[in-house]
Homo-oligomer: A and B are copies of this chain.
């Protein structure tokens, strides 16, 4: 029998760091551990995890931004579906790279997220998507940017990654790792991938937001005073909710990690604008344990793309995971390398979020299980935005958990950090 997972929310959901000048305000009280029973999943009885040997863990996000209470259920549903699909694959023994793509496809297909179908439209009313994926096992990475006419940009990114692993192209040409715009679309078509119409990618909601925002931009453009035109108050303008990029991090049964991210970009962006979701080191990162790194770790970011690019937040957070105290490491990274980053001194509000996991093969609690491998997964999410929607699930869980993490009412958006997370122990039977 594979035991039920032990999932401990080791941080109080209210845990946050509001004021950099007062590190004492970090609430490090760890809430009581709770145990999830091995209930049947929503997929039905055939998914009884105890019948399967392959193990794994998934953590997804449906964006760091602002999630209204009225739509909370829809965001959570998107995360839940992504977790269930990914876990179903992990139980079948697929690798982290495949499972992370599966999670992303599900999130892109949700019309409520800012990725794939229902993405924010650019200032010309077009859907233009960025996406990237990184395989912690091979350290391979691939990305697409400003991609139109494709339902699932993450599938193109993954295809680029897989093609690049086949070696050189005819006549010794180096295969690409990053394709953008019309060229990326043509490449996908040449690979036999399915195209999609602009209409199919646009939802009633994305079009309604576009029309409302377009009017706001036109009105602002008519103002003569450049100071008024270039308003510095994000929340009073068109960005509600602006940044609900999606992403996922995965641990598979071999202890390998992968990360992915997908985004429709900022609402009313200029055509051709690339955000963090397509930029190496900025949107996602995954790195296996090795001689230097004790942990395999992976992360995926969401928020203001330009700020996430300039701070390389995904890579920074993944690297920080090698420190002993994961929570403290993420807190320091979010504060020192993001909110108060020397690369963002001109910005009075720094908006972003990250999901991150790290994993270590564990000898603890494993002695009595002959022939088994045990992993300890620590997972966290942190954000400086009003809210962040996440979901997570292990192969040993009956159903996923979802949460909309929110900054406390007194916290200053873009200057405070909320951090939550948990620990999960996985036991793999090797026989």
9-residue interface stretch from A20-28, A74-82, A232-240: A232-240
17 new A-B contacts, CB < 8 A, other than A172-B239, A173-B269, A178-B309, are: A139-B345, A146-B180, A170-B220, A170-B230, A170-B231, A171-B219, A171-B268, A172-B234, A172-B236, A173-B266, A175-B306, A176-B274, A176-B306, A180-B180, A181-B181, A186-B272, A290-B342
Hey, which chain B residues are within 8 Å of A182, CB to CB? Answer: 181-182, 271-272
Chain B CB within 8 A of A179 CB:
yes
Hey, which chain B residues are within 8 Å of A247, CB to CB? Answer: none
**Minimum CB distance partner of A177 in chain B:** B306
Interface residues in A145-173 by Cβ distance below 8 A to B read: 145-146, 164-173
A336 to chain B, nearest CB (A): 11
Hey, which chain B residues are within 8 Å of A179, CB to CB? Answer: 270, 272-274
A–B complex contacts, Cβ < 8 Å, 20 sampled:
A139-B342, A139-B345, A141-B310, A146-B183, A169-B230, A170-B217, A170-B220, A170-B221, A171-B237, A172-B234, A178-B273, A178-B274, A178-B309, A179-B273, A183-B270, A183-B272, A186-B272, A280-B281, A280-B312, A290-B342
A395 to chain B, nearest CB (A): 28
Q: Provide the bound-state CA to CA distance between A179 and B130, in Å.
A: 12
Hey, which chain B residues are within 8 Å of A234, CB to CB? Answer: 172
Hey, which chain B residues are within 8 Å of A177, CB to CB? Answer: 306, 309-310
A99 to chain B, nearest CB (A): 22
A271 to chain B, nearest CB (A): 3
A217 to chain B, nearest CB (A): 5
A140 to chain B, nearest CB (A): 8
A120 to chain B, nearest CB (A): 11
Q: Provide the bound-state CA to CA distance between A229 and B170, in Å.
A: 5
Chain B CB within 8 A of A213 CB:
yes
- Contact indicator B145/A180 (Cβ below 8 Å): yes
Contact-size category for A: 35 or more
Q: Provide the bound-state CA to CA distance between A187 and B270, in Å.
A: 8
Chain B CB within 8 A of A197 CB:
no
- Contact indicator B167/A232 (Cβ below 8 Å): yes
Evaluate whether A172 and B274 lie within 8 angstroms (CB atoms) in the complex, with A138-B346, A181-B183 already known.
no
Evaluate whether A309 and B290 lie within 8 angstroms (CB atoms) in the complex, with A169-B230, A171-B238 already known.
no
* Copies of this chain, tallied across the complex: 2
Q: Provide the bound-state CA to CA distance between A229 and B310, in Å.
A: 39
A153 to chain B, nearest CB (A): 13
Hey, which chain B residues are within 8 Å of A232, CB to CB? Answer: 167-168, 172
Hey, which chain B residues are within 8 Å of A223, CB to CB? Answer: 170
Q: Provide the bound-state CA to CA distance between A138 and B183, in Å.
A: 33
- Contact indicator B213/A172 (Cβ below 8 Å): no
Interface residues in A351-384 by Cβ distance below 8 A to B read: none
A392 to chain B, nearest CB (A): 28
Q: Provide the bound-state CA to CA distance between A179 and B139, in Å.
A: 26
- Contact indicator A273/B176 (Cβ below 8 Å): yes
Interface residues in A241-280 by Cβ distance below 8 A to B read: 266, 268-275, 279-280
Q: Provide the bound-state CA to CA distance between A272 and B290, in Å.
A: 34
- Contact indicator B172/A343 (Cβ below 8 Å): no
Q: Provide the bound-state CA to CA distance between A274 and B157, in Å.
A: 13
Chain B CB within 8 A of A304 CB:
yes
Chain B CB within 8 A of A60 CB:
no
A342 to chain B, nearest CB (A): 6
Hey, which chain B residues are within 8 Å of A216, CB to CB? Answer: 171
Evaluate whether A238 and B272 lie within 8 angstroms (CB atoms) in the complex, with A181-B181, A312-B280 already known.
no
Q: Provide the bound-state CA to CA distance between A187 and B179, in Å.
A: 20
- Contact indicator B312/A173 (Cβ below 8 Å): no
Q: Provide the bound-state CA to CA distance between A108 and B401, in Å.
A: 54
Q: Provide the bound-state CA to CA distance between A254 and B61, in Å.
A: 45
